[in-house]
Structure 1
Amino acid sequence: MKNTIIVLSTLLFLITVNQVDAQEKPDKTYKPIEVHLQLKSMHLWRGLEITTSPYLLGIVNFTDKSGRLKIGARGSSGLNGEYRQLDYFASYQYKNARIVLYDIFNSSKTLPLKTNIFDYRASTTRHFIDATIGYTISKKFPLDIAWSTIIAGRDRDVLSGDSVATGGSDPVRNGKNRYSTYLQLSYPVILNTVRLDFFAGGVFALNGQQNNFYGNRSGIATLGVTASKSIAFGRHTIPVSFAPTWNPIRNTAGVVIGIVLF
């Protein structure tokens, strides 16, 4: 975990130095701090049902003048009080390519909180570090390819004799990191005032195990489409989205309805 923090700190330092050295014209519309709040019907992440309760998602981030570097945090809270999440993130965009790092910490009814937020020990931490490299081919052919791997944290093998999850408790994992990976392809289509983002994602573990963070075998974990549109309310417009998603590995499905409040 220390190595991960060092790598992340070094990456952010180099990116920041690169931006300071760059000679750019002042942008009078530059807003370094962004704050957003969303309401969603459920939390469906890469085919996993994190919570089926509606929840609020708040995001705050700093963006540099080039618009390439973002550093921030996001927090979620279920309206029924059984789910909460706090993530830290950093992203860097250069032309059609991007890299994103997330430190994710969450708890729910089926995965209750058993350690504090500062615990990064491999066998007990509620954290996991997710790294994504993405690329959009072109404006004419906007197919997006995103490779995400959990590089540290609670994505580990359960060794023989370890406690397996019972009653919703998190198993004690003392094995090696599985490096569970999610590979997604997505493609946007604009129809009148509606944007449709079709997506499909597969999961597998880089250490060769069939069992991974997303299920008990490799395969397709997400098939779906996100329909988004801005609806006018007087002088204001509110972006809304509707996203049905199927998970062939778990034989489950869900629909996420989202509203951007601001």
Structure 2
Amino acid sequence: MKRQIVLAFALICPFLLYAQEVFINADFVSNYMWRGIKCGSASVQPTLGVTAGGFTISAWGSTEFSDKNNEIDLTLEYEYKRLRLIINNVFYQGEGETFKYFNYQAHSTNHTFEFGAEYAISERFPLTAAWYTIFAGNDYRENGKRAWSSYCQLSYPFNVKDIELSIEAGFTPWDGTYADKFNVNNIALKASKALQITDRFSFPLFGKVGFNPYESTAYFVVGISL
């Protein structure tokens, strides 16, 4: 564990010396929905990150107000023009679970490691295609074989007057975390608008309505960003 902590700081400290931006923000959401799956109730979700030369290192978390479900994601991103590459380490701990954070053993850890790629076609036609696959950690089928759980999504942003909108559709290509075979598991519409409170202060309000055809469920989330 000590070696892992030392290695993490050895990688982050040089990055901080060349940082172009350090950012911190937080969302407050009525429900925690992720790719059409409910992962928690009302939550606070902070982000702390640093960028340098096209790279971004960030930590994102989600903590419920009423229950004890917690998540922390550590992410490394690289962006070049319209392409974004992502490596994500997700650690989720539900109420009553006692997983240790620094346990990375394949069949007993509650970490998952995911690789993702996103590509936007053009500025005039900003359709974004994305593919994410879990390549390590707690991601196994009942037969003990690695699932390689994957999620694919198409999203398209647009504006109606002063409201920012985005429509997205996601599916999983095979048996894994999201479904037991190929299935569409997320269709959603998101809207956001900056609410002007005073001449100097405003904050974004957003809402998202979606459906999970695989689970035959619907959801609506509202939140604010600070």
In the superposition, the TM-score normalised over structure 2's length comes to 0.89
In structure 2, the partner of 1:181 is: 150
| Matches of 2:182 and 2:109, distance apart in 1 | 24
| Matches of 2:94 and 2:193, distance apart in 1 | 30
Taking only the aligned residue pairs, the percentage that are identical comes to: 29
In structure 2, the partner of 1:37 is: 26
Residue 107 of structure 1: CA displacement? 1.8
Matches within 5 A, 1:1-12: none
In structure 1, the partner of 2:92 is: 106
Residue 131 of structure 1: CA displacement? 1.1
| Matches of 1:217 and 1:101, distance apart in 2 | 24
CA displacement, residues 123-153 of structure 1 (integer Å, 9 cap, x when unaligned): 1111101111010000111000001111111
Is 2:47 the counterpart of 1:59? yes
Are 1:135 and 1:146, in contact at CA under 8 Å, matched by a contact in 2?
yes
Task: List structure 1 segments (4+ residues) > 3 angstroms apart after TM superposition.
Answer: none
Are 1:217 and 1:249, in contact at CA under 8 Å, matched by a contact in 2?
no
Which of the residues 83, 86, 90 maps onto 1:97? 83
Which of the residues 109, 115, 131 maps onto 1:125? 109
In structure 1, the partner of 2:122 is: 138
How many residues align? The count is: 213
In the superposition, the TM-score normalised over structure 1's length comes to 0.77
Residue 212 of structure 1: CA displacement? 1.1
Residue 218 of structure 1: CA displacement? 1.8
Is 2:212 the counterpart of 1:247? yes
In structure 2, the partner of 1:213 is: 177
Question: If you compute each CA radius of gyration, which structure gives the higher value, 1 or 2?
Answer: 1
**Greater share of strand:** 2
Which deviates more, 100-109 or 55-64?
Answer: 100-109
Give the counterpart letter for 1:69 in structure 2: F
In structure 2, the partner of 1:71 is: 57
Are 2:71 and 2:91, in contact at CA under 8 Å, matched by a contact in 1?
yes
Residue 38 of structure 1: CA displacement? 1.1
In structure 2, the partner of 1:166 is: none
For structure 1, the residue ranges without an aligned partner over 5 or more in a row are 21-29, 160-174, 206-210
Alpha-carbon RMSD across the aligned residues, in angstroms, is 1.9
Residue 177 of structure 1: CA displacement? 1.3
CA displacement, residues 90-143 of structure 1 (integer Å, 9 cap, x when unaligned): 10100000101110001224xx42320011111111110111101000011100
Residue 31 of structure 1: CA displacement? 5.1
| Matches of 2:21 and 2:129, distance apart in 1 | 28
Matches within 5 A, 1:7-18: none
| Matches of 1:246 and 1:81, distance apart in 2 | 24
Are 1:196 and 1:227, in contact at CA under 8 Å, matched by a contact in 2?
yes
| Matches of 1:131 and 1:255, distance apart in 2 | 28
| Matches of 1:92 and 1:46, distance apart in 2 | 22
SS in 1 for 2:171: strand
| Matches of 2:49 and 2:97, distance apart in 1 | 26
